[in-house]
Structures are given as structure tokens and as C-alpha cells.
């Protein structure tokens, strides 16, 4: 397969993860607000800061390629965050709320890990 096609795929994945990280900022705010556990709240807030850092790093990657940092809506992240919204609604006041929030956040993380893993493979 010619490299230009793989490069196109790389750029598409890059736009997807930039969109996903931006979408996640809002999701982490909601999850932080939803928990009453100060440790978990702190973890979500820390992750929010790290996500802002990731967005800056992604912008640098776009810059190094000489293109404008433009993300696209990540449908997977949209779905994962919709599930997180449902969890917040369905488990409000339930002792299992925090476990449910952690579960939702783990799913998000694994999606991101897969995305960055693919990007690493595509750029090599």
C-alpha cells in the first residue's frame, strides 16, 4: 500500500483523537461533579489537567506536520461519554456510583490507549 494512504489514515486518526480529547474535557468535568468522594474528584480533576496537556501536545504534532490542528467528532468518545451520562443519571445516590464512574472512565482510557497505539504504528 502506498505510504500516502497510510499517511492519510494517520492524519484521520490524529484528528479523531484531538476531537476525542476535547470531548473528554467536558466528560471529566461532569464525572468530577458527580462524585462526592474527594479522592476520586481529585483524580478526575488531575486527569482533566492531563487531558489539556495532551491537547497541547497534539497541537504540536499538527504544527510539526505543517497543518492546522483541526479535530473531528469522535463517535466512539461520544458514545462512551453518553454511557457515562447514563451512569450518572441512573446511579445518582447509589453506593455503586463511584465504581460505575471508574468503570466508565476506564473504558475511555482504553479507547485512548488503542488510538495512541495505532498512531504510533502508523507513524513508524
The minimum distance between CB 103 and Fe ion, in angstroms, equals 20
The minimum distance between CB 87 and Fe ion, in angstroms, equals 20
In sequence order, the 6+-apart residues with CB closer than 8 A to the CB of 6 are 122
Distance from chain centroid for Cα 24: 5
Tell me whether residue 90 or residue 106 sits nearer to Fe ion (CB atom). Answer: 106
**Angstrom distance (rounded) from CA 41 to CA 120:** 31
The minimum distance between CB 83 and Fe ion, in angstroms, equals 15
Tell me whether residue 16 or residue 98 sits nearer to Fe ion (CB atom). Answer: 16
**Angstrom distance (rounded) from CA 43 to CA 21:** 16
Q: How many CA atoms lie within 13 A of 97 on its CB side?
A: 19
Tell me whether residue 25 or residue 76 sits nearer to Fe ion (CB atom). Answer: 76
Residues that bind Fe ion (CB under 5 A): 16, 74, 76
How many Cβ atoms from other residues are within 10 Å of residue 53's Cβ?
10
The minimum distance between CB 29 and Fe ion, in angstroms, equals 20
Residue in the shown chain whose Cβ atom is closest to Fe ion:
74
Tell me whether residue 80 or residue 88 sits nearer to Fe ion (CB atom). Answer: 80
Amino acid at each position: 500500500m502506498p505510504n500516502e494512504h497510510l499517511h492519510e489514515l494517520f492524519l484521520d486518526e490524529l484528528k479523531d483523537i484531538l476531537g476525542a480529547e476535547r470531548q473528554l474535557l467536558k466528560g471529566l468535568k461532569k464525572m468530577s461533579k458527580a462524585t462526592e468522594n474527594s479522592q476520586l474528584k481529585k483524580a478526575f480533576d488531575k486527569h482533566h489537567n492531563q487531558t489539556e496537556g495532551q491537547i497541547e501536545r497534539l497541537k504540536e504534532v499538527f504544527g510539526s506536520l505543517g497543518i492546522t490542528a483541526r479535530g473531528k467528532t469522535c463517535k466512539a468518545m461520544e458514545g462512551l461519554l453518553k454511557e457515562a451520562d447514563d451512569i450518572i443519571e441512573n446511579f445518582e445516590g447509589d453506593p455503586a456510583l463511584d465504581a460505575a464512574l471508574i468503570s466508565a472512565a476506564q473504558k475511555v482510557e482504553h479507547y485512548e490507549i488503542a488510538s495512541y497505539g495505532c498512531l504510533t504504528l502508523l507513524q513508524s
